[in-house]
Structure 1
Amino acid sequence: MKSLDNYLNRIGVSLEKPFKCNEATLATIMDGQSRSISFENFDVVMKKTISMKEEDVEAKLVDQKRGGYCWELNTLLRIALEDIGYKKVTPLMCRVRWGKPDDSLEPNTAYTHLALKVETDDGRNLLADVGFAGSNSMAPVSMDVGDDPQELPEGRFRIVPSKHDGFHVLEVSVKEEWRPLYEWRDEHAPFVDQECSNWFSCTYPSARFTTQFFAHTIIGEERHYILNEKYFIRKGHGVDKEIKEEIIEVKSRLLELIDNVFGVELKETDDIDRYLQ
């Protein structure tokens, strides 16, 4: 990383030296990044390709005060954790299962998500992910496999064996029902494979982020989203959540939200409003 100090300033985190590479530090970093760097696919909407080169990711998300999607956000988290001193940060290629049809016969989603396996200084393995847009981005999940739920800031989670041999799946409790978020093999994802999946995600005509406008950030206890022409504010989880909704009708309102709510400094705005009605 070119400047760990700049990254920590960007996410509003101060760490005492020598750094402690434990679960508490990881949670602090994840919480800070999730609150300070928005999930957004604005460049994809404006028909730009996304670079996963470390220097490009750092320049965009830190120096240029932009956000990004999972390939960028978790790449940035990985290089920061490595600079802090975590000895083993493993990128994991994931198949998204949230909201997808049954895949009992064979997988029906590609590797379109990136998460991280982080080993702490006491030998624990934790799932770290600041790129799934508000589901499990504020604290790590223990990678111990089993039915015991883990109570985290964003709800109840568990990691269990997938129906597919050799895979594990992250699940979240929704209305007393366990629902899958994504699944992965416990193996290092080579950079060339990450690049290919990132290329698919930002260029394929029917991929999620080439067909939708999306943004997410956390402000206090609220989660703010844009999905195409709709702006949502959600407070709480599960049955207790409250949601406010606004229709974004004009480009000027969209740019106002991008700047004032999502904290993103856009230099160009061509085609930024192409998913508004």
Structure 2
Amino acid sequence: MDVTTYLNRINYSRSLEPNLETLHQLHYCHLLAVPFENLSIHLNQPIHLNLEALYHKIVRQHRGGFCYELNSLFSWLLQQLGFKVTLLSAQVAREDGNFGREFGHLTLLVKDTESWLVDVGFGDSFLYPLKLENSTEQIQKREHYKLINNDETWIFYYKKEGDYKPQYCFTLTPRNLTDFQTTCEYNQTSPQSIFTRSRICTKATPTGRVTLSDNRLIITQNGQREEHTLNTEAEYNKTLQDYFNINLGY
């Protein structure tokens, strides 16, 4: 890995000391620069969990990815900078109140004097790491989060419309990247996977979020939402370029 090129990709030029402030700023910069997207699946481009290949796609080709890609590559960067990082398996919450399959989401644990949940691959989520602390309400830019410990399982909650709703659960069992390959393949091929049903490209902005969901461009700024419909594929590709700096003809 060329660390400098990666840092340029996420527009990071501050301290490289492996401390909490650096971790917070790297996390924030990553979310503002690298989109959560599943475009490779709809372009019939197989996703292999190979760090060199992911580095080429996300850093050199200026693309994004989904959790297996974004968090695994970010963990590699953090390790290069001297952070202690563990890959964790998470199960995503379903509408029926249950949780999905094991390895359905890849998230990270980073330890310094304390432990932090780190995740740059869950779409619209926390901008800075969350302290692994039971039941403490953690507030970031008016958004409220909480981690609840239940025996060996932790559940990540996000407050929406006044109520805390589960997003995913996880244990602290260390995992290897290869452990996620089967579910990664499922998520990019199965008709039951949410990733095969529609195209998504989204990233945080300093004032909100910009999202391209199929042919809808959704821009949220300071709590105000605008939505525009894109009528042609050419318009879609231009929007990808203009808002995400993604050129699919790269």
Same fold (TM over 0.5): yes
Q: What is the alpha-carbon distance in structure 2 between the residues aligned to residue 206 and residue 46 of structure 1?
A: 18
Q: Indicate which of 111, 115, 121 corresponds to 1:131.
A: 121
Partner of 2:201: 215
Q: What is the alpha-carbon distance in structure 1 between the residues aligned to residue 101 and residue 229 of structure 2?
A: 30
Q: Does 1:92 align with 2:71?
A: no
Contact kept, 8 Å, 2:72 with 2:177, in 1: the verdict is no
Deviations 1:85-141 (A, max 9, x none): 11x2011111111x52122xxx44453211100012xx21000001111212x2000
| 1:266, distance to aligned residue in structure 2 (A) | 1.3
Q: What secondary structure, in the 3-state scheme, does the structure 2 residue paired with 1:126 have?
A: strand
Q: Does 1:254 align with 2:236?
A: yes
Q: What is the alpha-carbon distance in structure 1 between the residues aligned to residue 40 and residue 153 of structure 2?
A: 32
Partner of 1:171: 157
Q: What is the alpha-carbon distance in structure 2 between the residues aligned to residue 154 and residue 4 of structure 1?
A: 33
Partner of 1:81: 78
Partner of 2:97: 102
Partner of 1:8: 7
Q: Does 1:28 align with 2:16?
A: no
The worse-fitting range, judged by mean Cα deviation, of 250-259 and 217-226 is: 217-226
Contact kept, 8 Å, 2:210 with 2:219, in 1: the verdict is yes
Q: What is the alpha-carbon distance in structure 2 between the residues aligned to residue 169 and residue 139 of structure 1?
A: 17
| Structure-2 change in CA distance of 1:191 and 1:220 (3 Å) | closer
Runs of 4+ in 1 over 6 A off after TM superposition: none
Q: Percent identity?
A: 23
Q: What TM-score does the superposition give when structure 2 sets the normalisation length?
A: 0.94
Q: Does 1:119 align with 2:108?
A: no
Q: Which amino acid aligns with 1:55?
A: E
Q: Indicate which of 138, 152, 167 corresponds to 1:150.
A: 138
Partner of 2:245: 263
Contact kept, 8 Å, 1:149 with 1:156, in 2: the verdict is yes
Q: What is the alpha-carbon distance in structure 1 between the residues aligned to residue 25 and residue 142 of structure 2?
A: 15
Give aligned pairs, total.
250
Gap runs ≥5 in structure 2: none
Query: What's the RMSD between the two structures over aligned residues?
Result: 1.6
Deviations 1:8-66 (A, max 9, x none): 111111133xx322221111101111111111111101122112111001111001111
Contact kept, 8 Å, 1:23 with 1:140, in 2: the verdict is no
Q: Indicate which of 43, 46, 54 corresponds to 1:46.
A: 43
Contact kept, 8 Å, 2:49 with 2:178, in 1: the verdict is no
Q: What is the alpha-carbon distance in structure 1 between the residues aligned to residue 44 and residue 142 of structure 2?
A: 32
Partner of 1:159: 147
| Structure-2 change in CA distance of 1:154 and 1:215 (3 Å) | farther
Partner of 1:141: 130
| 1:153, distance to aligned residue in structure 2 (A) | 3.3
Contact kept, 8 Å, 1:230 with 1:246, in 2: the verdict is yes
Q: What is the alpha-carbon distance in structure 2 between the residues aligned to residue 227 and residue 94 of structure 1?
A: 24
Partner of 2:192: 206
Q: What is the alpha-carbon distance in structure 2 between the residues aligned to residue 100 and residue 216 of structure 1?
A: 21
Q: What is the alpha-carbon distance in structure 2 between the residues aligned to residue 168 and residue 6 of structure 1?
A: 35
Q: What is the alpha-carbon distance in structure 2 between the residues aligned to residue 154 and residue 129 of structure 1?
A: 19
Q: What is the alpha-carbon distance in structure 1 between the residues aligned to residue 167 and residue 182 of structure 2?
A: 22
